[in-house]
Structure 1
Amino acid sequence: MKNAVLSSLNKSSGVWIVICIGFLLFSVRVHAAPARPQGYVMQIQLTPAVCALDNSKQKQRKCLEGYSLTISGLLPETTQKDCTTSSSATLSPLQSKVVARVMPDPNSRTQLWQSVGGCVPMNASQYFRTMINLAEKLKIPADLTSSESKTVYHSQLKSQFIKLNPSLPANGISFSCQAARSNSILTEIQVCYKVNGQYTQCSNHIVSNCPTSFSIKGAY
């Protein structure tokens, strides 16, 4: 009888060990795989405005070298709360040179990847290649890269974007402004994409805060 009980316990223990191992492996797979994003939002900074309004950024390369536009992020639209990653953000010298055209500060690139890499189904090289591909396809109105500061109408600037990018829906782009004295200055543009890179309407939480008319600070 004793041997029968021991045998039964050993068999039960073996079953539970197999179940526990299987559960642990399943948990590892679940936690290792990031949630696939529903889309992406590309954030484009109006660099002269950002550099003029934020003293902490004035010593960054994008300010010192007079960039007119830079990309601050390609953010995944996801329900996953923690998007951080410890995976490498290192790019090849050639790719680093290409990415520097739109995101010149290496530290900014590293910080961006570490903050969003856990929510995208790609490595850093693929992520930044995606960013460059989207940036190259987006046509930019001349008013945003002019050396002259000017005042524009919200509807006018949006119409220019749609005319240059016919597949871009009217609600697929949003503008962010910052108040400066009695004026509002355009500081950022958000463009929304499907996961396949096609333009799409932005989510409800992406809302323009710019007034009817606002200023664009000229490139320097």
Structure 2
Amino acid sequence: MSKSKSLQYFSTYGFMIIVSAFSMYTLSSISYAAKIDMPEGYILNIQMTPAVCAFDPNQKKQRKCLEGYALTIGSLVPESFNKSEACETETSPILSPLQAKVVARVIPDESYRIQLWHAVGGCVPMNASQYFRTIINYAQNLKIPAVLTDTVSHAIGKQSLEEQFLGLNRGLPARGIQLNCQKDGRNNILTHISVCYKNNGQFKACPVNVTSNCPSQFNIQGTY
């Protein structure tokens, strides 16, 4: 996949994912496991892939870095998720070939997908296929400002980016999106975006423990 091709999956019209084969699946069709309580909501964590790859040398050899993805999904977690919690699962994250192909549009690396499921699967009331289907449902309905997929690095105001998200996504409350940055010398670089959802897939305000740490002005690292 060329760098230009990888960028076709993201635009102001959302995560451009070929999901026609999965259009029959909606959030209401998920059959939840009885032993795990339904969470109050979910948080979709989106990686600004060029920045993540630049900061973490361990990820530079992953497909998402080598093929120049602009955005990838980092995780979908219950809003009460705590990394110290015993959320690990040994259940299989293996997907059908068709579903794996669809999921690869937003989580390109199979090893990362497996690691994610093993870390989170014990705390979500669904199996691996349902979990990744939910990620696809959230991702395909989220509209992304074009500024996040630019090939050139540039500075942007926090308020400006938040307003672009709110303008593109009807029903997204002001506290429904949180931005996280990491310092690179004197510059702050946007690395992650968190979007909060109700169980039915509608946007909601993020819980108080999910906050932004970006200053009023920061940089978006262009694709490479």
> What interval of TM-score do these two structures reach, taking the shorter chain for normalisation?
0.7 to 0.9
Mapped to 2, the partners of 1:175 and 1:215 lie a distance apart of 12
**Equivalent residue of 2:64, what SS?**
helix
1:175-211 deviations in Å (ceiling 9; x for gaps): 0000001100000000000111100000111110000
1:112-160 deviations in Å (ceiling 9; x for gaps): 1111111211110011001001000000000100101110000000000
Please tell me whether residue 139 in structure 1 is matched to residue 160 in structure 2.
no
Partner of 2:170: 166
- After superposition, the Cα gap between the structure-2 partners of 1:78 and 1:207, relative to the gap in structure 1 and judged at 3 Å, is closer
Please tell me whether residue 210 in structure 1 is matched to residue 214 in structure 2.
yes
TM-fit CA distance, 1:42: 0.4
The structure whose Rg is larger is 1
What residue identity is the alignment partner of 1:148? V
Contact 1:192–1:199 (Cα < 8 Å) also in 2: yes
Mapped to 1, the partners of 2:43 and 2:81 lie a distance apart of 14
Structure 2 unpaired stretches of 5+: 1-33
1 or 2 for the larger relative contact order (CA 8 Å, sep ≥6)? 2
What residue identity is the alignment partner of 2:126? M
**Equivalent residue of 1:95, what SS?**
helix
Mapped to 1, the partners of 2:138 and 2:102 lie a distance apart of 13
Mapped to 2, the partners of 1:192 and 1:83 lie a distance apart of 20
Partner of 2:64: 62
Q: 2:104 aligns with which of 100, 104, 119?
A: 100
Partner of 1:28: none
Q: 2:155 aligns with which of 147, 151, 156?
A: 151
1:48-85 deviations in Å (ceiling 9; x for gaps): 11111111110011000000000010011247832221
TM-score normalised to the size of structure 1? 0.83
Contact 1:44–1:189 (Cα < 8 Å) also in 2: yes
Mapped to 1, the partners of 2:60 and 2:92 lie a distance apart of 27
Whose helix proportion is higher, 1 or 2? 1
Q: 2:132 aligns with which of 107, 128, 131?
A: 128
Mapped to 2, the partners of 1:83 and 1:143 lie a distance apart of 35
In the TM superposition, 1:188-203 aligns within 5 A as 188-203=192-207
Mapped to 2, the partners of 1:84 and 1:116 lie a distance apart of 6
Mapped to 2, the partners of 1:79 and 1:135 lie a distance apart of 20
Partner of 1:41: 43
TM-score normalised to the size of structure 2? 0.82
Runs (4 or more) in structure 1 with deviation over 4 Å come to: none
Mapped to 2, the partners of 1:146 and 1:48 lie a distance apart of 11
Partner of 2:53: 51
What's the % identity of the aligned pairs? 57
**Equivalent residue of 1:143, what SS?**
helix
Structure 1 unpaired stretches of 5+: 1-31
Partner of 1:12: none
